[in-house]
Chains A and B, each alone.
Chain A
Amino acid sequence: MTARREPRPSDESQPFWDATREQRFRLPWCTDCDAAIWYPRTTCPRCTGSAVEWRDDAGGGTVHAASVQHRPGPGRDADDGPYVVVLVDLDAGVRMMSNVVGCPPAAVKAGMRVALAWEPLSDGRHLPVFRLA
């Protein structure tokens, strides 16, 4: 298990993290706007409505930008790295930060297709990461 500063759920994101225990990737959607929301909010940032529901998502996306970390960031083991931090444009229409794993970090470039993968967290939850598709 990669050492990392593990995410602490907020009231609004708890359903997301609960679903990761069974490796389900869910996104909040505003049913009025028919649009995904990221990061999880119970208020839609487009219409300020609260008609937000959780929908399963396949987790496909495209790398928008990538930065190889040559020294481990906060919370990582001293010998961890290099690894790549990316912004992924999900097919659902939202952008999130993540890592692309399972390949040389320098191989990851903007425009590449990626697919969802999971990394275990210490409490049974999982962290969504990506692999090259």
Chain B
Amino acid sequence: MGRSLRGEAAIVGVADAASPTGELDSRGRVLEAAMIREALDDAGLTLADVDGICCSGIATGIAEYLDVHPTFVDGTFVGGSSFEVHVEHAAAAIASGLCDVVVGVYASTPRQDRRLGASPASLGPMGPDVGAEWETPYGPHMPMTSYALAADRHMTQFGTTSEQLAQIAVDARRWAAMNPRARHREPLTIDDVLASPVIASPLHQLDCCLRTDGAGAYVLTSADRARDLRRPPAYVLGAATATDHWVISQMPDLTVTPGAVSGPLAFERAGITTDDVDVLQAYDSFTITALLHLEDLGFCAKGEGGAFVEDGRLGPGGSLPTNTNGGGLSYTHPGQYGIFLLVEAVRQLRGEAGERQVAGAEIAVAHGCGGVLSSTGTVVLGTEATR
């Protein structure tokens, strides 16, 4: 079974906090940050060295708090053994060169919380609820308003138009017309998109993904074993992760997603360029989301996404077939759409996509995006021919 992790990675700094009173004098993020600082001090390292974060939950929150932008995160939660599981995952990641310095952290203060009467919903181990405190009072529709603000900024900075964004929805619909399971298959025009109601300007209802039921799964195994199985393998040629912020008001640049890190890194690991991509599955929670992905993955320059999509090149017969199942905009979107990106990429590489099959698809990219443009994962998949 595979190669051993023996001696490949080492724990070089530790810290913990406890008191005979059973109570500490800090909690939440403050306590987590103190532990991280102490453990780094112990190792003779600083936050600037950190490119990986593990915690038993949403790692993006602590990363935002400390303004670090890890390219490896693990939020596996399996109860008290989570941290040992994190070490296994992090050691494998370090051994394979995905990252260099990982910090794992935990803080929980049930005694303080009970004494202070704080409900876990507001001030549990997750720390301050930044969105509830600093965004919700202003009445945004989340997550839509976050993407609307990014779209407004892109329009202001680069002159992107509502018509250009609408073209992305139109092309997704053209693909969906060839997918019998798509939620919406009837033809769509730019005028239809622009005539749909605006809930959070500048986005129209038809700039927004669907809300549907949906489910998916995948199975991953070794290349050796894959060859003996029933279906043609879709090999993982390269993959990368990047994280940036958790709430939109903390996003460093509203026009640049963390895909600008994970995209080029995944392509480099796969040994490909954008020219090699036959079919792209790029998370289209909103039209602006897909447009930002095209720029950040390097298919066009920053700011040029609007002009890039104008000719319908994302649709059937176009030069960059994108979201060929109809995407989150027309196929399905139950909340965390990323698994559908992988499923469609695999079907295209196997030649199983029926009417919507992209001829000769040998390299497919599945590019997921979570939170509010907060984190990205880019996976490059290939066939036997491109492995």
Contact = CB atoms under 8 A, between A and B. Distances in A.
B33 A48 contact: yes
B158 to A, nearest CB: 12
B128 A13 contact: yes
Nearest to A12: B128
Nearest to A8: B122
Contacts of A66: 149, 152, 201
Contacts, number: 145
A111 interface: yes
B27 A76 contact: no
A23 B148 CA distance: 30
A87 B30 contact: no
Given A7-B137, A76-B139, A70 B28 contact: no
Contacts of A73: 136, 139-142, 145
A44 B47 CA distance: 12
Interface string B199-219: 111110000000000000000
B66 to A, nearest CB: 6
A70 B33 contact: no
Contacts of B28: 10-11
A102 interface: no
Contact of A41 (B65, B149, B203): B65
Contact of B150 (A46, A65, A68): A65
A4 B139 contact: yes
Interface size class of B (residues with CB under 8 A): 35 or more
B343 interface: no
Contacts of B199: 69-71
B138 A99 contact: yes
Interface residues of A, number: 46
Nearest to A119: B137
Contacts of B319: none
A76 B136 CA distance: 10
Given A45-B67, A110-B152, A11 B30 contact: yes
Interface of B: 27-30, 33-34, 36-37, 46-47, 65-67, 122-123, 127-130, 132-142, 145, 148-150, 152-153, 156, 197-203, 248-250, 254
Given A39-B133, A43-B34, 17 more contacts: A9-B133, A10-B123, A11-B128, A12-B128, A41-B29, A43-B33, A48-B46, A65-B149, A66-B201, A67-B149, A75-B137, A76-B139, A85-B200, A97-B138, A99-B138, A106-B201, A109-B156
